[in-house]
Amino acid sequence: MYTPRMLQQSLIEALERVADGQVIAPGADEYDEARRTFNALVDRRPAVIVQPRSAAGISAVVKLAAEADLPIAVRGGGHSAAGHSMGDGALVVDLRLMRNVEVDVQRRSVRAEGGTLWLDVDPATVAHGLATPGGTFADTGVGGLALGGGIGHLVGTCGLTCDNLLAAELVTADGRPIRVDAEHEPDLLWGLRGGGGNFGIVTAFEFQLHDVSSLLGGHLVYPHATAGSVLRRALQVMEDAPPELVLMPLLSRLQSAIIITVCYRGDPAIGERLLKPLRNELQPTEDSVRPCSYLDMQATNGLLQFGLRNYWKGHFVREIPEAVLDATIDDYVAGRLLGSVLIEPIAGVARREPRGGAAFGQRDAHYNVSALAIWEDPGEDSSRIAWARSYASSLEPVSVSGGGYLNYSTEETGERILAAFGDEKFSRLVGLKSKWDPDNRFRFNHNIPPSPAGRAQG
Ligand SMILES: Cc1cc2nc3c(=O)[nH]c(=O)nc-3n(C[C@H](O)[C@H](O)[C@H](O)COP(=O)(O)OP(=O)(O)OC[C@H]3O[C@@H](n4cnc5c(N)ncnc54)[C@H](O)[C@@H]3O)c2cc1C
C-alpha cells in the first residue's frame, strides 16, 4: 500500500522526468526561498514547486497535477498582495525561468514569456522607442498584472495592460497548449483581459506596442502639512487634464509627504504648461519632472522590497466626496492614517473597451482609490489591517460597483469579486471557467467558481 509520503515521492520523480526544469520539494534547501512572496503576511507551504523552462514542460506538469488531483498555483512575478502565487498543498508552477522577450517592430508587438517582469520587457521595447503600458514598478510580474487589468503611467492614451493583450499562448487545465487571439478562442481572449489566472497558464503574452519617444515625467513632492491644498488642486488638474497627462497622488505614510507621480506622453512643452498650477501655485519641495525616457519613467518609483507586511484594499469611484476628502486630509495631517492612500486615474482610452472587449469591469470609474498599509512589526497586524478595511469602507457609498481593484486586494469576498465585474461579465466569466477549468484546478486567484453544470459536462 502507498503511504502519502510514497505517493509524494513518486509524483516528484515523475515531475523531475517531465518538467524540463527544477523541481523543489519541501525540505529542499531552495524550498523556503522559492515559496516566498512579496507579502510577508503570506506564509504558505505548497506540496511541490516546479520551475519549468518550456511550454512543453508546463503541459506535462499540468497533466501530472490532474492525475494526482492536485490544485495548481501559478507564480509569475510573485507580487500579488494576496499571495496568490503560493497555495497550501498546491503544485506551484513557478515561471521564473521563462523570461524571454521578442519584439516585432514591423507588427508593433512584443511576445513576453509567462514569467517576465516589466524590467525584462521595457528595455527590449524601448530600444525601438516603443512600449506596452505596464504598471508603475519595474519588478512586478507581467503575468498577474496583465491578467488582472494593469494601471500605469500610460493609462490615458494606451489603456490598461489587459486592453493591449493581442494574443496568449496558454496551457489549459487538461494540459493542452492552445493559442488564444482574435481568431482563435476570442471569448477566452476576452476573459484573459481582466479575468485573472482563472483559465490556464499563459506561457507567453503578446502585447500591442505604442510610441513612447516623447515623455515628460518624474515626481512632485510636497510637505505633509500642505496635504489639503495639494490634493484638492491635484484632483482639479486631473479632472481637467487631457488623457496624455497622468497624475497619481500618493499621501505617503512611509515618506511622510505627498508624492505626485507625473507622466505626460507627448510634447514636453505642453506637459510643462499643464503642470503650472502644481508648480507655481503650490511649492513642491522636490521636482524631478523632466523630459525622460520610458525606462526613466518606470524607474521613478524605485522598487518596493519583498518581505514587508502588506494589506491593501480600495474602491473604484467616480468622485471623491468632500466629506471623504476632508476626513482623509485631516487624518493624514494628524498622523492617523496607518498606511498610504493612492489615487490613480481611470481616464481616456482606459474608459473604453478595446476591440473584442475585455472582462475588466470598471470603465465607468474616474479613480481607483486604495488604502495601502505596509509595515514590518507583526504586533501591528490587527491595527494596520483594521485601518485599511475601515478606509476602504469609507469609500463604499461612492463605489462604482461595490468592488475594488482585484490586483491590489489582499483578500476578497466572493461578493466583492462579483461586484468587480458586474453581473453580466461575471456570469460570462463563470461560463468560461466552467468550459476551460471545470474542476477549478486554478483556484489560487480571485476565483471565478465553475458552475456545477459546467463541472458535470467537464
Ligand atoms: C510593489 C507593487 C507595485 C504594483 N504596482 C502596480 C501598478 O502600478 N499597476 C497595477 O496595475 N498593479 C500593480 N501592482 C499589482 C500587481 O498587478 C499584482 O500584484 C499582480 O498580481 C502582479 O503580478 P505577478 O505576476 O507578479 O503576481 P503573482 O503573485 O506571481 O501572480 C498573481 C496572480 O496572477 C496569476 N498569474 C501570474 N502569471 C500568470 C501566468 N503567466 N499565467 C496564468 N496566471 C498567472 C497567478 O496565478 C496569481 O493568481 C503592484 C503590486 C506590487 C506588489
* Residue 427 within a domain: yes
Q: Does ligand 1 come within 6 angstroms of the Cβ of 454?
A: no
- What spacing in Å lies between the alpha carbon of 274 and ligand 1's midpoint? 32
* Residue 432 within a domain: yes
Provide the pLDDT for residue 1. Answer: 47
Among 55, 79, 94, the domain-final residue is 94
- What spacing in Å lies between the alpha carbon of 284 and ligand 1's midpoint? 32
* Contact (Cβ atoms closer than 8 angstroms) between residue 132 and residue 322: no
Q: Are residues 261 and 346 in the same domain?
A: yes
Q: Are residues 38 and 157 in the same domain?
A: no
Name the pLDDT band for 456 (thresholds 50, 70, 90): very low
Q: Provide the residue range defining the domain that includes 295.
A: 215-416
What is the best residue among 38, 118, 147 to mutate for testing ligand 1's pocket, by most ligand atoms within 8 Å of CB?
147
Among 78, 94, 110, the domain-final residue is 94
Q: Does ligand 1 come within 6 angstroms of the Cβ of 95?
A: yes
Q: Kindly report, residue by residue over 81-137, the tens digit of the pLDDT.
A: 999 999 999 999 999 999 999 999 999 999 999 999 999 999 999 999 999 999 999
* Residue 51 within a domain: yes
Q: Are residues 73 and 116 in the same domain?
A: no
Provide the pLDDT for residue 255. Answer: 86
Q: Does ligand 1 come within 6 angstroms of the Cβ of 438?
A: no
* Stated pTM of the model: 0.96
- What spacing in Å lies between the alpha carbon of 353 and ligand 1's midpoint? 21
- What spacing in Å lies between the alpha carbon of 147 and ligand 1's midpoint? 8
* Residue 446 within a domain: no
Q: Are residues 169 and 305 in the same domain?
A: no
Q: Does ligand 1 come within 6 angstroms of the Cβ of 370?
A: no
- What spacing in Å lies between the alpha carbon of 120 and ligand 1's midpoint? 15
Q: Does ligand 1 come within 6 angstroms of the Cβ of 362?
A: no
Q: Kindly report, residue by residue over 180-209, the tens digit of the pLDDT.
A: 999 999 999 999 999 999 999 999 999 999
Q: Kindly report, residue by residue over 134-173, the tens digit of the pLDDT.
A: 999 999 999 999 999 999 999 999 999 999 999 999 999 9
* Residue 58 within a domain: yes
Q: Residue 71 belongs to a domain with what CATH number?
A: 3.30.43.10
Number of domains in the chain: 3
Q: Does ligand 1 come within 6 angstroms of the Cβ of 38?
A: yes
Q: Does ligand 1 come within 6 angstroms of the Cβ of 444?
A: yes
Question: 400: which 3 cell numbers?
Answer: 462604482
Q: Kindly report, residue by residue over 31-78, the tens digit of the pLDDT.
A: 999 999 999 999 999 999 999 999 999 999 999 999 999 999 999 999
Q: Are residues 273 and 396 in the same domain?
A: yes
Among 94, 110, 136, the domain-final residue is 94
Q: Are residues 226 and 77 in the same domain?
A: no
Q: Are residues 48 and 143 in the same domain?
A: no
CB-count burial class (<10 Å; 0-12, 13-18, 19+) for 36: middle
Q: Are residues 155 and 300 in the same domain?
A: no
Task: Give every CB contact of residue 160 below 8 A, 6+ residues apart in sequence.
Answer: 133, 149, 150, 151, 194, 350, 358, 360
Strand ranges, E, within 55-162? 72-75, 91-94, 101-104, 109-113, 130-131
Provide the pLDDT for residue 5. Answer: 66
Q: Does ligand 1 come within 6 angstroms of the Cβ of 84?
A: yes
d(CA 130, CA 294): 9
Q: Kindly report, residue by residue over 343-366, the tens digit of the pLDDT.
A: 999 999 999 999 999 999 999 999
Q: Does ligand 1 come within 6 angstroms of the Cβ of 140?
A: yes
Return the residue whose CA atom lies nearest to atom 43 of ligand 1: 201
* Residue 73 within a domain: yes
Q: Are residues 179 and 317 in the same domain?
A: no
* Residue 458 within a domain: no
Q: Are residues 243 and 392 in the same domain?
A: yes
Instruction: Please compute the mean of the pLDDT values over residues 398-402 and round it to a whole number.
Output: 95
